[in-house]
Amino acid sequence: MNTQEQRAIDELARDVARVESLRAVKNVQRGYAHHSQFGQWHAMVALFAEDGTLRWGDETVTGREAIEAWLDARAGDMNGRAPGSLHTEVIDEPLVNLSVDARMARARWMAMRFLGDGKGTARVEGGIYESDYVLEDGRWLIASMHYHPQFEGDYHDGWANVGGQDLPIVPKHFTSDETGMPIPAPIGDAPRSGATVEELAGRIRRLNDEDAIRNLQNAYGYYVDRGMWSDVVDLFVEDAIVAVAGVGDFAGHAGVRRAMERMGPEGLAHGRLNERLIFDLIVEVLPGGREALGRGIELGLLGDATKRAGFWEFSVFRNRFVKEDGLWKLKEISLTPLLRADYFEGWGSGGIAPLGGRDTERSSAPDFGIPAFLDVAPVGRALFGETPPSRLDQAPLDLADLARRLARSQAYDGVENVSSAYGYYLDDFAWSDMAAIFAVNGHKQAPFAGYFVGRDRIIGAANASWGPSPARRSAISFHWRTQPVIHVSHDGRSANLRTRLFQPRTSKEPGSSSKDFYMGGLHSGMYPNDQAVLEDGIWRLWSLTIDEHYFASPDWKGGWASAVARPEGEPPPPPSRLLSTYPPDILLTDLGRRQEGFRGGTGTFVEWPAILPMWFHYRNPVSGRTPEHFWPDCVPCEKLPETRMTAHGYQKPPNGPEIDGVELT
């Protein structure tokens, strides 16, 4: 091997390790959330460096032993271990940046805790983590985790701003450009690597497989939300199993359908809510590269508003995937319900029966055992060593092609980063930074109005709607962008993106509301047709669309279950005032069927508890089944073709079953 070839291998090995590091950092924080759910303080502090630091508001604790004692004392009886207790913390919307030398990293996360002692007390808390991580002996650990509390409150009264005060802006570790550059350019020559081309190919394949599995799991979640059981069944192999702890096993495609129909018939009827949000997903591809595991937290927001019925469900899933003919499919869903609670009563007394099919009057801590945790893998773990890859996986070991494949996985993380940045900047009313994460020719929907094309128009619309950015805020509608489905193009320079809008809102008073802007409770929507491009080495948003609200809480006391149908003949709420003060480049009313039912759009206005259409940018990732509401490109593309990414030199990403960014037909 000549010097030039060795240098190319060294550079590829360095770049592979950097992408692996970025993902290991995320998994460390997700692992912290997984252990937190069961009060496993010792396992949580094992994820800290020996001299790691936990800062909680104004409190600071240093060292593993001290952090473990602090976590235990703070949880008290709300520890996830005592009968009926709950300690579920969801930590998501990651924005991660590696240091130039790839020995340290920083990340920002949204967090929300659902706490209860099983004796009548229940609380909700939420805020932002800014964390530092360090690479020690081949494993990533938490060096410093700083939690900034933003809202909290007793369940029955609802939450409010911490201290009842205006909320400050939490300092960010990133600039607008750094959001789209999670891995900075290295300095100097790559260190000499002992890796072979075959080993690097296996590690890159593992990263690509992780992307496909995440997309499959998150797509499954959206199908479940809408009761799309035919699409759910399509995702499984023939000999699949759905195992629900305390209920039983459901085998084969017919069994999968029966398991799904326990949640109701196909589709959503008026007033029915079946939101089962996926948080903190960890994916582990097993040796051989033919099977994989996925573990995460499921938060169920359920009920039927026509019956004034609402429920919470807290569950853990640990699923198995297999690769057939180049496509990943679900082999086994293993769901462990932890607690089910009536919305109006809450979970303070331990929830209600039935939970997992048991007939006890009160549910308590699960007696099924804790679902096994996944490996928060060290960087550089070999993937292939037991089973050779299939013929479809045996791509030529060409270094340039391997670099392209790696770029596709690096794109997945870059797109997730800039997606999270949009939510953070929106929450902080940081209009200049928000506009800066869009491509020069990008475009953004302003809610209930239309689309603005170009950065200047995007920032102009934000200022016209909300005015200058404040230093503190009396109220926040948080924009969690979670559960991403990201399809990256073959060349790794463009991507289609779908995320959920999970929207807790807070203000100075618990559960405050107004007719048009509910500050109490939870709200939901979808970013179904977003796109991103690699522009001058930085990932930026190309197109952004928000469909909202799928459901809303009129107030905290009644939540989503207390919404009533809009009286017949009552006029819809007005569109955005931007139509007169700062008109969009493309009106929602110009977009025909795509905007039917949405506020400011076309047709008859649809408001929860009526069911808005859910649009998809992709066909079923296994069967290719086309959904009823399918929009494969950016929303304004048909009206204004020059807004297409392909008109600006980018590839159109795949919109259905695909292998290596090439769509299968």
Full DSSP string of 303-357: EEGGGTEEEEEEEEEEEEEEEETTEEEEEEEEEEEEEEEETTT-STT---S-STT
| E strand or H helix at 212 | helix 197-225
**Number of independent structural domains in the chain:** 3
The C-alpha angle with vertex 153 and arms to 508 and 132, in degrees rounded to 5, equals 90
* Residues 155 and 205 reside in one and the same domain: no
End of a domain among 394, 426, 448? 394
Range of the domain at 140: 23-178
Q: What percent of the chain stands above pLDDT 70?
A: 93
Confidence of residue 3 (pLDDT cuts 50, 70, 90): confident
- Burial of residue 85 (CB within 10 Å: 0-12, 13-18, 19+) is buried
Same domain assignment for residues 389 and 408: no
Q: Do 369 and 248 share a structural domain?
A: yes
Residue 109 in contact with residue 92, Cβ under 8 Å? yes
- What's the mean pLDDT when you consider all of the chain? 93
Residue 5 lies in a domain: no
Q: Are 343 and 352 in contact (CB under 8 A)?
A: no
Backbone φ, ψ for residue 232 (5° rounding): -60, -50
**pLDDT per residue as tens digits for the range 170-179:** 999 999 999 9
Mean pLDDT of 502-525: 77
Q: Which residue has the tokens 């007005």?
A: 574
State whether 656 and 550 are in the same domain. yes
Cα separation, 122 vs 345, whole angstroms: 10
One domain, residues 247 and 274: yes
Of 150, 178, 206, the position where a domain reaches its end is: 178
Do residues 436 and 333 share a domain? no
286 and 346 housed in the same domain: yes
pLDDT at position 385 over 80: no
Same domain membership, residue 160 and residue 260: no
The CATH number covering residue 325 comes to: 3.10.450.50
Residue 3 lies in a domain: no
Mean pLDDT score, 80-92: 96
pLDDT of residue 510: 80
430 and 531 assigned to the same domain: yes
Q: Is residue 187 part of a domain?
A: no
| pLDDT digits 0-9 by tens, 356-372 | 433 333 334 456 689 99
**Closest CA relative to residue 280, chosen from 142, 376, 365, 179:** 376
Domain contains 9 = no
Q: Is the model's pLDDT at 394 over the cut of 80?
A: no
Q: Of the given ranges (438-442, 471-475, 627-631), which has the lowest mean pLDDT?
A: 471-475
Confidence at residue 286, expressed as pLDDT on a 0 to 100 scale: 96
User: What DSSP designation does 656 have?
Assistant: S
Domain boundary among 345, 379, 394: 394
Q: Rounded to whole angstroms, how far apart are CA atoms 463 and 469?
A: 8
Average pLDDT over residues 514-520: 55
| pLDDT attached to residue 361 | 34
In DSSP terms, 278 is beta-bridged to 298
Label residue 421 by pLDDT band (50, 70, 90).
very high
Whether residue 361 sits in one domain with residue 491: no
Check pLDDT > 70 for residue 327: yes
Mean per-residue pLDDT, 422-447: 97
CA gap 505, 518 in Å, rounded: 8
Please check whether residue 47 lies inside any domain of the structure.
Answer: yes
Q: How large is the average pLDDT for residues 344-364?
A: 63
Q: Mean pLDDT throughout 127-153? A: 97
Question: Given this model, what pLDDT does residue 367 score?
Answer: 61
Average pLDDT over residues 531-544: 98
Quick: pLDDT tens for 580-628: 999 999 999 999 999 999 999 999 999 999 999 999 999 999 999 999 9
pLDDT of amino acid 247:
94
What does the pLDDT read at residue 391? 40
- pLDDT one-digit tens code per residue, 225-274: 999 999 999 999 999 999 999 999 999 999 999 999 999 999 999 999 99
- Same domain? For 367 and 252 the reply is yes
43 has a pLDDT exceeding 70: yes
Q: What average pLDDT does the segment 563-574 reach?
A: 93
As a whole number of angstroms, the distance between CA 533 and CA 650 comes to 8
Give the pLDDT score at 397.
80
d(CA 233, CA 622): 10
Q: What would the mean pLDDT of 186-194 be, rounded to a whole number?
A: 94
Other Cβ atoms within 10 Å of 306 Cβ, number: 15
Residue 19 confidence (pLDDT) = 98
The better pLDDT of the pair 2, 127 is held by: 127
Task: List, in sequence order, every residue forming a beta bridge with 140; answer none if it has no partner.
Answer: 135
Position 354 scores a pLDDT of 44
Are residues 82 and 152 both part of a single domain? yes
- Domain annotation covers residue 13: no
Per DSSP, 84 falls in state T
What percentage of residues in the chain have a pLDDT greater than 90? Answer: 89
Model's pTM, two decimal places? 0.95
Q: Is residue 72 part of a domain?
A: yes
pLDDT for residue 320 is more than 80: yes
Assigned domain for 114 exists: yes
Q: Residue 388: what pLDDT?
A: 42
